Structures are given as structure tokens and as C-alpha cells.
Amino acid sequence: MSVHVERFAGKNVVVTGAAQGIGLAVARRLAAESARLTLVDRSELVHDAAAELGAQAIIADLESYTGAEDAITAARGHHGRIDVLVNNVGGAINFKPFTAFTAEEIQAEITRSLMTTLWSCRAALPTMMGQGHGVIVNVSSCATRGIHRIPYSAAKGGINALTASLAFECADAGIRVVATAPGGTEAPPRRISRGTPALRSDREKEWFQAHIDQTLASSLLKRYGTLDEQAAAICFLASDEASYITGTVLPVAGGDLG
């Protein structure tokens, strides 16, 4: 992996959901590029990542506004300002046809994959406005057009809408708001579960497999991406190299535009 060594030197960067997966890959790349890092996660495993990277760790559940506000207040306290916020928390929990979702399951997907980012943006923007600058990178998904995770698709569609509209509203305040839309991404087995129930029946296994088959079929490159491929796009958008880009959702999905 080639690295642009100084893109984040002197910048205070907050990454949410940084204990594993895409968030951890982003944190590793930012650390390699000299960012002053704050890693937010609700898992204690974030302490391992922070120790590895010389970062500050904050334990917080971003599914409530109080959790997001406390995390942002603590992050600002560590470094005095927030130059970049990467809203990475999210992820589909259930994989099945929409009519098999209960009302509680639908709510849980929206809470996990839309509200966490909405709360974190609301909590961080006053700090960025006070500074007169800031960058927010939201992690969306190309599952905005996909099967068997419709509430998650709807949540990520919301991420795309809030990215475009916040960019519009906050441009005069010197704040860029951008997003990536990852496709299927290879990763080691998750140490922290999303809470996806075990697949019990053949029918549930078929429902799960169908979303993988659809993801591959929708990608022109017919493969999953890597964590590094996702982190590279997120870090580019977070950096000053992307200073003329705002309100944009960049698909990182082998040609699947979501």
C-alpha cells in the first residue's frame, strides 16, 4: 500500500466504529499519514486499536443523541477541535425479504445505519462551524439498490440525502460533507457481531446467499473489494486533495453505482 505521508499531519480526526473492519482500516491509514486520531466505538476492543495506533479511544453508543454528544465533546476535549469526522458506524443486521422483517427489526436497522450518522453530524457540526472549517465523510453503501436488506438500503439512502443536503447547507461555513458507497468488502471474521441471528433453516441460508449473489452480479468487476480499497477512497475524500468535492457520494463498488 503506498501512502501519501503528510496528508493528515496536524489534523484532528475522529473515526467512529473503528474497532474493526473498514473503520479500523481507515484509522490505520490515517495514523500512517500522521493524523491525531480519536477512535469511537461501543466495543472495548477499540482500546486495542488505539494502543496500536497511538490514538485516543472513546467508548460510546452512537445510537442515541446523548451517546454521540458525549463522544464528540470528549473528542474535542482531547484535541481542542475536530478537523475531520468519519461516520463509519453502520452495517446491515438482517438479510431476508422485506415482508419477513418485523417492525422492531426495521427500526433497529434505521437506528444502526442512519441515526448513528445523523446524531454524530448534529453533535459535531457546531464545533466545525465555530472553527470555520471541517470535513465530514459518511460511509454509505451501494446497497441503496439491492435485495434482502431493504431497511438498511433505506437507511443508506438517507445517508446519501443528508450528505447532499448538509453539504448544501454548510458550504458557506467552510465545511465539506461527502460520502463513499462501499460495495461488498472482504474482511476477517468479525470479532464484534452486528447482532445478525444465526442462520437456522435452509430458507434463511438461501436468503442470505441471495444478497451476496446480487452484490457480485451488480459489480462490473465481479468481486468483493478490500478494506484498503475502501480506506483509500475515504481518506482521499477526507483530505485536502478533495478540497473541491462536496455533497458527493463516491461509489467504491467495482462499478456498482448503487
Q: Which residues bind ligand NAD (CB under 6 A)?
A: 17, 19-23, 41-43, 60-63, 88-91, 112-113, 116, 139, 141, 182, 184-185, 187, 190, 192, 194
Between residues 213 and 240, which has the closer beta carbon with respect to ligand NAD? Answer: 213
Closest approach, Cβ 151 to ligand NAD, in A, equals: 12
Closest approach, Cβ 46 to ligand NAD, in A, equals: 7
CA–CA gap between residue 78 and residue 14 (Å, rounded): 11
Is 224 annotated as catalytic?
no
User: Per the residue annotation, which of 65, 152, 224, 244 is the catalytic one?
Assistant: 152
Closest approach, Cβ 71 to ligand NAD, in A, equals: 8
Between residues 22 and 178, which has the closer beta carbon with respect to ligand NAD? Answer: 22
Closest approach, Cβ 10 to ligand NAD, in A, equals: 27
- 85-108 burial, b for 16+ CB within 10 Å, e for fewer? bbbbbbbbbbbbeeeebeeeebeb
Query: By beta-carbon distance, which residue lies closest to ligand NAD?
Result: 21
Specify which residues 175 forms β-bridges with.
134
Closest approach, Cβ 84 to ligand NAD, in A, equals: 16
Between residues 198 and 243, which has the closer beta carbon with respect to ligand NAD? Answer: 198
Between residues 47 and 133, which has the closer beta carbon with respect to ligand NAD? Answer: 47
SS3 per residue for the chain: CCCCCCCCCCCEEEEECCCCHHHHHHHHHHHHCCCEEEEEECCCCHHHHHHHHCCEEEECCCCCHHHHHHHHHHHHHHHCCCCEEEECCCCCCCCCCHHHCCHHHHHHHHHHHHHHHHHHHHHHHHHHHHHCCEEEEEECCHHHHCCCCHHHHHHHHHHHHHHHHHHHHHHHHCEEEEEEEECCECCCCCCCCCCCCCCCCHHHHHHHHHHHHHHHHHCCCCCCECHHHHHHHHHHHHCHHHCCCCCCEEEECCCCCC
Between residues 171 and 257, which has the closer beta carbon with respect to ligand NAD? Answer: 257
Closest approach, Cβ 204 to ligand NAD, in A, equals: 19
Between residues 194 and 205, which has the closer beta carbon with respect to ligand NAD? Answer: 194
176, 195, 227, 234 from 182: Cα distances, Å = 20, 21, 10, 10
Q: Which amino acids are annotated catalytic?
A: 152
